Amino acid sequence: MARRHNGFHILAWAAIVGGILRLIEPLLGHALHGAALHIFYVLVDVFLILGFIGFGMAAGKPGKAGAAIGVIGLVLIRAGAATGQPLYQVGAALALVGGALVGMDILHRRARSGLAAVLLIGALVLGLAALLQTATPAAFAAGAAFGLGFVIEGFALL
């Protein structure tokens, strides 16, 4: 049991790190180039995937489904980047839907991380709004809400 407990804490910390990396991505996305930028994006997605796994372990059925959908979305993003296929939009949409399902599960369970739930659900709403506009403020806000939601939920799971 202690081994699983320690592993769960690692997944919670991964969510925190992934969320922080997602929050600083707009800054580093302009500072890094080439292979360094690619490695940064891979690290963000790996930490977020591990965070989704931790969220799923703590969740009810809707949250588990959301975590699985989120993982699939992030894997599609990485697969698209590796193969040159245009999978980013589909993967990002799935990651946001997965996050929103995790958020709904948090609210349903009345977990103490209600702010994380609102942020994860809000990220989906902002992501949808980003599709309707030509500027990127909603997309930026969606990424920030998603990242901050991961940080807060990660700390709640610790």
pLDDT at 5 over 80: no
pLDDT at 2 over 50: no
Reported as a single tens digit per residue, the pLDDT across 94-105 is 999 999 999 999
pLDDT at 36 over 60: yes
pLDDT of 80 reads: 96
Please tell me the distance from the alpha carbon of residue 4 to that of residue 103, in angstroms, as a whole number: 23
Range of the domain at 92: 2-157
Percent of the chain beyond pLDDT 90?
Answer: 83
Mean pLDDT of the chain: 92
In the predicted model, what is the mean pLDDT of residues 29-40? 91
Element (H, E) at 39: helix 34-58
Encode pLDDT of 42-69 as tens digits: 999 999 999 999 999 999 999 999 999 9
Q: Which is higher by pLDDT, 3 or 123?
A: 123
> How many other C-beta atoms are found inside a 10 Å radius of the C-beta of residue 127?
23
> Residue 112: its pLDDT value, please?
85
**Residue 124 scores a pLDDT above 60:** yes
pTM of the model: 0.92
Contacts of 134 (CB under 8 A, 6+ apart): none
Query: In total, how many domains does the chain have?
Result: 1
